[in-house]
Amino acid sequence: MIPLQLTLKNFLSYQEATLDFRGFHTACICGANGAGKSSLLEAITWALWGESRAATEENVMHTGADFVRVDFQFICNEQTYRVIRTRQKGKNSSLDFQIENAGKFRSLSGKGIRDTQEHINTCLKLDYDTFINSAYLRQGRADEFMQRRPNERKQILADLLKLEQYEQLAEQAKDLSKQFKGQAEQLENSLAPLEQELKQKETITAQLLSLEAEIQQLQNLIAQDVEKLQQLQTEEAQRKTWEQQLNEKQNKYQTLTQDGERLVKNKSILRNQIAEQDEILNKSPEILAQYQHLLNLEEEDKKLLEKFQLFQDSQQQKQQLEQQLFKQSNELELQSQKAQSQLEFIQKQEQENQQILNQASEVKTNLERLRQIRQRINELEKLYSEVSPLQQRRQSLENEIARKKDKFIAKLELLTIIKEQLEKELAKIPQIRQEALTIDTQIQELDKKKNYQKRLEEKRSDKKSVQQRLQEQQRIYEKQLDELIKKLELISNHEANCPLCEQELDHHHRHQVIKKTQNQQQNLQEDIWELKEQITRCMKDLQNIHQEENTLNQEIEPYNRLQQHFNQLEMQLEASHETLSKLKKNQAEIEQIELDLSSHNFAQDLQVDLKLLNQELENLKYDEKTHGLLKSQENQLKWAEIKQARINEAQERQTEINAKKPQIVKKINQLQEAIQQLQHTSEIKIKIREIEQQIKELGYERSQHIDISNALRQAKNSQSRYDQLKQAERKYPELQEQYRDLENTIQQKQTEQATTKQELEQLRQQFMNIKDYREEIQTLNIEIQQRRKKLEELFGQKGRLEASSSHLEKLKNQQIETKKQLREVKKKYRIHQELALAFGKNGIQTLMIENVLPELEAQTNHILSRLTGNQLHVLFLTQKAGKRKNAKLIDTLEINISDAQGTRPYETYSGGEAFRINFSIRLALAKLLAQRAGTSLQLLIIDEGFGTQDSEGCDRLIAAINAIANDFSCVLTVTHMPQFKEAFQNRIEVYKTNQGSKLSLSN
């Protein structure tokens, strides 16, 4: 990786900066401590891998910024790439990976950040850990490998080489070997009960032979009974045929009898209807006369309605005129009453004014007395202006003291309540402890039931498997049975050939084949019965298991609730100690507050101020009672001022009354004359008299109209009788025709009934001579059922024995398979044991370190010779002898340095020499790690590595960097030492301003 350009926005100490690496081969990043030198290098690692020295990604944001962005362009494998990483405050990061093509960048990003990061790692062939341990010699970590103890350096080297994956493989191999060992032990333990069960095979075979003989005998007896039953059922079927014919004749005779009775009843109903119509037709003259009278009454009622309409119109006009007259009269009456009310109001005001004017002398005396009292009050008001602030201050002090006391009392009450609550809580502890013990016992019982429930589930699963296997076997047998039936049908045909050899069968061979096939059919049928019985037992067992599971589920249902309640009780018991401590502290606070209240030991400064204030108020000699008494007298005499005002108002009102009263009397007299004229000589009154004369001439009588209407209502039924007469004239001929037809039908039904009765008697005589076989058939059926039941029991026993035999056969196969599995598991156990040793620290890991160390040693010495002028040489030792005689070699990683005076340990060297050694080893490690990652080390970053060097050491280090510079495409060094930065032609100056860190380039 060769850097091209780095652009920062709001990254750490930088607000905005751009650094172009083009043209740099070796360059120095220099500036004061804290200026932001290392932040440039952190920006590269954050852009490429999202990693930096910051604890979280948001911590890389510049102070006060809402987002951060870093763009980094670089060359890798002769291709130009760009990585853009951004993050908004409070949001997720975004990452874009691009490649340059024809001067433009094209995105290579994946579906998400993780996928894109994998593309970047694949392109670079480096991850973050490999980079910081190879290309990036980070500040303060250059000598980390060297400063560890010899026995720890090997582990650090293993971590750098990422040998922990072999440690993980070793652990996995150990875990798998333990699993295979456990499986082998389980398989060995399972073989012993299998061998014990296989010993029952001979006993079960003998029982099967005995059962098969008994079953064959019982099947023969059932076949004989079935043949006899079929004969009896044939005879019984004939008897039922005769019985059915007899029942049909009886039903027909009964139907004919019911039809005859119904027809006779209909004939009687029809006869009554004809008689009713005759009666209506005989009253025809009377009905016609009444109908004519109804028509005459309707005509007369119509005439009266016309007169009534005219009468209503005249009455309405009269009412309208009377309303107008009443309205005008009311308006005049209202004006008269209003004027009369004004007159009465004025007269009442005259009386009130006179009463007020009579009090004038008394009011004058009281006004003089009021003036004297007010003069004295003014004097007391001046004194009160001095006393009032003092009284307010006294009241404030008293209130403050009372509040202080109330606070003490309230706190005492609160502490008392808390004390009672704590005492109640402590009183509940024994009960809670007992309840917890009870619930714990219940939970233990439920745990046992849950374990039993798991065993039931396993049992149910096994039963279902058995049931499915039996059902599948039943389907196979039924299919075979259908094939045998078809075969029998084919063989029974005398023209058919042998189904096997296709040759013609003679009578003897056909009989043998049929018998053999029937025997196979019978055997299959027995097998099917046996399977059905086994399936029924399985279903019954499953039903019992299901019922038992339901019962267990109901019993186990409160388990979670009890567990939760038990946890709550435990928490309460744990909190009891804290409650007791709180109670003791509470009791001490209560006793202290009670002591302060009884001794008035609170608000002492306020009580002193109150005492001084009371003394000052006594010196002023202000009498609040005298002031209040005079105020009361003033309020009592204020009525004199009010009454004086009323006297003045009464005098003004009387003057107005004397002017208005004659005018109102004159208006009342004028309104009375107008009312008299309206009632006698007005135009409306004349029109009312004319309408009354027209009503009289009309001659309409209301009573006559009512009489006609009543007579009309009474005659209304004549209309219905007239309608009945017309209907009777139309229906009478039809009813006579229906009556004649009904008589003919009754005669035919009677003839058919007599014939059916004769045939019924003949059938009864024949049915009495037929024998009834029902009891014999029932007895035979019961006997067959009992034998079949016994046969099913035998089949069940046979099925169980065959199942046991089949089970033993499976156990035999299982035994063979188990032994085979045991050999395979033991083989895997040995393999994984060997893999655990191979992947362990003393296996592949040690071998890899042993292979790496010579290469690391050669690369280190190559670099160190440049730094020291071939004065120092490094030697790595991986083993050393123990202190005791004949002791084993000890694994270690010691570093010995050879110089002109001999060989001695690394730890004995001074700071400058130690740093040169550190730098050589660190740079050699960097190259080695890069090679192992599959990439070449083109970029080298040295962050603050010169603080321990003297002048000569710095010169040698600069010379070494320049000497190894040709091995790298770009070398960046970071330092704050002024004399060191002058040694580099390309310098990147970093300095800090109020707007953040800034950059400047110099050559």
Do 43 and 70 contact (CB within 8 A), yes or no? yes
What single string gives the DSSP state of each residue in 589-600? HHHHHHHHHHTT
Between CA 812 and CA 818, with CA 817 as vertex, the angle to 5 degrees is: 95
Token pair for residue 923? 């740079």
Between CA 683 and CA 690, with CA 684 as vertex, the angle to 5 degrees is: 95
What single string gives the DSSP state of each residue in 136-165? EE-TT-TTHHHHS-HHHHHHHHHHHTTTHH
Which stretches within 493-506 are classed as H helix?
none
Distance, in Å, from the CA atom of 338 to the CA atom of 664, rounded to the nearest integer, reads 10
Q: Is 501 annotated as a binding residue?
A: yes
Distance, in Å, from the CA atom of 95 to the CA atom of 52, rounded to the nearest integer, reads 16
Between CA 613 and CA 620, with CA 617 as vertex, the angle to 5 degrees is: 145
Do 291 and 718 contact (CB within 8 A), yes or no? yes
Distance, in Å, from the CA atom of 297 to the CA atom of 674, rounded to the nearest integer, reads 54
Token pair for residue 68? 């951060």
| Residue tagged 């301003």 (tokens) | 993
Do 776 and 290 contact (CB within 8 A), yes or no? no
Token pair for residue 22? 């083009």
Q: Give backbone dihedrals phi and psi of 802, rounded to 5 degrees, phi first.
A: -65, -35
From the list 750, 725, 909, 612, the residue with the least C-alpha distance to 264 is 750
Looking at residue 700, the DSSP 8-state letter turns out to be: -
Give the three-class secondary structure for 180. Answer: helix
| Residue tagged 């109209």 (tokens) | 705
Distance, in Å, from the CA atom of 162 to the CA atom of 179, rounded to the nearest integer, reads 27
Distance, in Å, from the CA atom of 417 to the CA atom of 421, rounded to the nearest integer, reads 6
What single string gives the DSSP state of each residue in 258-299? HHHHHHHHHHHHHHHHHHHHHHHHHTHHHHHHHHHHHHHHHH
Token pair for residue 878? 């991986």
From the list 931, 930, 942, 921, the residue with the least C-alpha distance to 153 is 921
Distance, in Å, from the CA atom of 711 to the CA atom of 294, rounded to the nearest integer, reads 9
Do 643 and 363 contact (CB within 8 A), yes or no? yes
Looking at residue 944, the DSSP 8-state letter turns out to be: S
Whole-Å CA distances, 828 to 824, 835, 843: 6, 10, 19
Whole-Å CA distances, 219 to 122, 264, 488, 523: 82, 66, 20, 11
Whole-Å CA distances, 854 to 155, 668, 932: 17, 145, 15
In sequence order, the 6+-apart residues with CB closer than 8 A to the CB of 820 are none
Sign of the CA dihedral with 106 first, then 110, 112, and 116 last: negative
Please give the distance of CA 16 from its chain centroid, rounded to a whole number.
48
What residues pair up with 87 in beta bridges, in sequence order? 68, 93
What single string gives the DSSP state of each residue in 294-352? HHHHHHHHHHHHHHHHHHHHHHHHHHHHHHHHHHHHHHHHHHHHHHHHHHHHHHHHHHH
Distance, in Å, from the CA atom of 3 to the CA atom of 80, rounded to the nearest integer, reads 10
Token pair for residue 294? 């109804």
Which stretches within 161-200 are classed as H helix?
164-197
Binding residues: 498, 501
Binding residues for Zn(2+): 498, 501
